[in-house]
């Protein structure tokens, strides 16, 4: 079972899409193991996006992510990292596959609604950045036998 980090970015919160976007991950069968809403400090934003430091869009990306609260969650499931990336869609909403979140709700790369970890290494790093070990709930859902073989 994999665990991945999902961030519903400021535009998702401001547009009132939090419930709709979480519902997509739930309906896919993923299990939420941690969830919170918070205002992001510039320091945390820079650490989260450290791989993009120095790129032309970095300052705008940080300004965007700290502009309003975000919802951060951990989602568990078989192949969760790749499944969530596919559910979210391509970085540029204009190029995302219809049916993905970024295609269905977005138009521009700087307002692409959701962050999702892109590899097991990123997931481990990002989960540790946003959550403490005690923040994760380990539980069984009664419905799991109808989702997991």
List residues near ligand DAT by CB under 6 A.
Answer: 52, 57, 61, 91, 109-110, 112, 115, 118
Structure-block tokens of residue 82: 């790749």
Classify each residue of 67-105 as buried b or exposed e, where b means 16 or more C-beta atoms within 10 Å of its C-beta: eebbbbbbbbbeebbebbbebbbbeebeebeeebbbbbb
The catalytically annotated residue of 4, 115, 117, 130 is 115
CB of 9 to ligand DAT, least distance (A): 8
Torsion of CA 100, 116, 68, 50, to 10 degrees: -140
Query: Which range of residues in 6-14, 66-74, 114-122, 130-138 is near Mg ion by CB under 5 A?
Result: 114-122
CA distance 12 to 130: 18
Query: Whole-angstrom Cα distance, residue 22 to residue 81?
Result: 15
With respect to Mg ion, which residue has the nearer C-beta, 118 or 135? 118
Which partner from the list ligand DAT, Mg ion, none does 29 bind, CB cut-off 5 to 8 Å by kind? Answer: none
Minimum CB distance to ligand DAT, residue 133 (Å): 25
Say whether 48 is catalytic: no
Nearest Cα to 68, choosing from 131, 13, 111? 13
Of Mg ion, ligand DAT, none, which one sits near residue 109, judging by CB under 5 to 8 A according to partner kind? Answer: ligand DAT
**Which residues contribute to the site for Mg ion (CB under 5 A)?**
118
Q: Which residues are catalytic?
A: 115
């Amino acid at each position: 079972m994999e665990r991945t980090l999902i961030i519903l970015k400021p535009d998702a919160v401001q547009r009132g899409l939090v419930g709709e976007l979480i519902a997509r991950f739930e309906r896919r069968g993923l299990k939420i193991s941690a969830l919170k809403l918070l205002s992001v400090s510039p320091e945390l934003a820079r650490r989260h996006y450290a791989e993009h430091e120095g790129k032309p869009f970095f300052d705008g990306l940080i300004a965007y992510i700290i502009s309003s609260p975000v919802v951060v969650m951990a989602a568990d499931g078989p192949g969760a990292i790749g499944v969530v990336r596919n559910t979210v869609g391509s970085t540029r909403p204009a190029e995302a596959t219809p049916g993905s979140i970024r295609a269905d709700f977005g138009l521009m790369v700087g307002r692409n609604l959701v962050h999702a970890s892109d590899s097991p290494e990123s997931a481990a790093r990002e989960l540790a950045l946003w959550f403490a070990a005690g923040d994760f709930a380990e539980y069984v859902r009664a419905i799991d036998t109808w989702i997991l073989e």
